[in-house]
Structure formats: C-alpha cells, structure tokens
Amino acid sequence: MRKLLFIINPAAGKGRGIKEIPRIQQRFKKFDYEIIISKEANGITKLVQDELEKNYTDIIAVGGDGTLGEVINGVVDKDITVGVLPLGSGNDFIKTLGLSEDFEERLLAIEKGLTKEIYAPSVNEHYFINVLGWGVDTEIIKEKEKNIIREGKLNYLFSTLKMLMIYKPREVTFTIDEKVYTKEVYLVAVGNGRYVGNGMKICPGANPTDQELEACIVEKMPLRTLLRHFSKIFKGTHGTVKGIHILKGRQIIVKFPRPTVIQEDGTLRQVESLYLKKEKKIRLII
C-alpha cells in the first residue's frame, strides 16, 4: 500500500500550489496521503526528514526544480519514491526526461506510480537534481528576482542578455576526471539535466540516467560573438562555437581563489570549493 506526502512550496507558481490543493484532494481521496505546506524558504529538506518516521512510500514535490532538489536531499539513501507536480518558473528538469508539464497529466502519473531510477549528483555535502553553475549564471538569478517582468522564460531571457553585456569574465581552475583547465569564463554550467531558464538547452547531452556529468564552459570572447550565437543555446548547438566547450566527466573539482556564489537548481549558495560526482540514485515517478 502506498502512503503519499505532498509538500507544497507556497512561493512556487505565484502560490498556485495552495490553490491546487482541492484537485490533489479529489484525485487522491482513495489514497492514504497528507498535504503539508512549507513555512520557510529552503526548509523543505528538514521538513521531509522530520516526516520520515511516518513511513511514507512517496514524497511529492509541489513546486519547481528547487523544491524537487530539496525533497531529494531529504530522501537520498531512503526507500522512498519521489514525484513532482511542476509549478516552478521553468520546470526544466522534467523537460530532460520528456515528461509533460501539464498538471493534470502529472497528477495521473503520480496516481499510476510508474518510476525510473535516475542519479542525484552530489556537490560537497548535499545533492542537486538539474544544473549547477557559476559566473554570469549567478548574476542572472539575482537579476531576474528584481525584474518587473515575472514570466519565467521572458524574465530569464531578459536577465541573461542584460547580464551578458555587463558581466566581466573571471579566471577559474577546475578539474574534470583529473584533466585540469584554467580559463577566463563567462559561465560554467554542470548538468544532470539539460535545460535552464525554461528551455535553454545549456547542457545538451546531459543524461540523469548515466553516471557522467556534462559541463558547458563559455570562455571569454568578444561580446558581439557571444550575442551573435546566443540563439543556438535553445537548440543545444552552441557547442559548435569557438570558445564554448561541452565536456563530460564523472568527477569535477573546483577550487575558487575566494568565496564564490554559485547557483544550484536556481538557489544561490556561497562556497569556497566544489566536488561534484554521481553516485546515488533515486526513484522518480515518470
């Protein structure tokens, strides 16, 4: 018998998760389930851990990629299935798996409970699910929170173009499977999933079912070159541009010269170094 816990991020989808509670209740009225609304930002992982003693079989993230990542951090190494009802600004991770973003279709998928094993990459002492990045990527996340334009794709696109024009590339040294790279970069993105910004195919070959991470490295180049080729990111063909590299590896190590802000699944964190790898798997409802 399944026992489901729906964890709602009230900030996701402009509060849509709370509005969707009646639909969840109607669909799962024959199930053993509970609905909890998270009360604090970035508190979902602890909330999940606090609820584990109730022997849930499935925990459903009602929100975006960040909400899903927080749920996964609470259940890695546990015999628990994870699902997602996508209400984020991008819902980019499920795009990689070819899953529908339609709320009703996702309700039906959770009801059926079919699963696939995927990797949850670790970074230092915790896990992410979609894409981690630094460089201009973190400035884009900051900028999009300030914009009057709030629609997911348009907001991200506007913020990206604006920050590319003012961001100054910085030198970074990183190691991918023992090969060392030192470059001045606009951006490094490491993907378990392929998409960011509601459909930008930043890591076009990333695959959450295999053990390799994919890194997209955008070197310093003339701004006009960067802007001329920018549209290629939507098709995932930007790796053909000189100065943009798509690399794969099972282990990525980065040591920053000073504390640096990175983004994981859209959430900003400050770090001094990174150690990324794929070892742990989870069961995700498809």
Delineate the domains of the chain, giving CATH numbers in brackets. Answer: 3-113 (3.40.50.10330), 131-278 (2.60.200.40)
pLDDT band at 152; cut points 50, 70, 90: low
Amino acid identity of 277?
K
List residues bridging with 196 in a β-sheet: 200
Contact present, 217 and 181 (Cβ < 8 Å): yes
pLDDT at 151: 59
Instruction: Find the distance separating the first CA and the last CA of the chain, reported in whole Å.
Output: 19
Which residues have CB under 8 Å from 201's CB, separation 6+? 194, 195, 233, 234, 235, 236
pLDDT at 153: 72
Which residues have CB under 8 Å from 222's CB, separation 6+? none
Alpha carbon distance 149, 254 (integer Å)? 34
Which residue's entry shows tokens 């990629």?
65
Alpha carbon distance 124, 275 (integer Å)? 5
**Mind listing the pLDDT tens digit for each residue in 50-106?**
999 999 999 999 999 999 999 999 999 999 999 999 998 889 999 999 999 999 999
Quote the mean pLDDT of the chain.
Answer: 93
pLDDT at 197: 87
Q: Which secondary-structure segment (H or E) carries 279?
A: strand 267-285
Tokens of 242: 């000189």
Q: Which secondary-structure segment (H or E) carries 84?
A: strand 81-86
3-state secondary structure at position 1:
coil
Phi and psi at residue 190, to the nearest 5°:
-115, 120
pLDDT at 158: 84
The mean pLDDT of 139-150, rounded to a whole number, is 73
pLDDT at 154: 79
Closest CA to 276 of 186, 180, 191, 210: 191
pLDDT at 273: 95
- Of 167-171, 190-194, 276-280, minimum mean pLDDT range: 167-171
Tokens of 89: 């600004």
pLDDT exceeding 90 applies to what percent of the chain? 83
Contact present, 2 and 31 (Cβ < 8 Å): yes
pLDDT at 142: 86
Query: Positive or negative CA dihedral for 224, 227, 232, 233?
Result: positive
Alpha carbon distance 200, 204 (integer Å)? 9
pTM of the model: 0.93
Query: Positive or negative CA dihedral for 220, 156, 195, 7?
Result: positive
pLDDT at 286: 97
Alpha carbon distance 6, 25 (integer Å)? 10
Instruction: Please state the separation of Cα 267 from the chain's center in Å.
Output: 9
Query: What DSSP state is assigned to residue 31?
Result: S
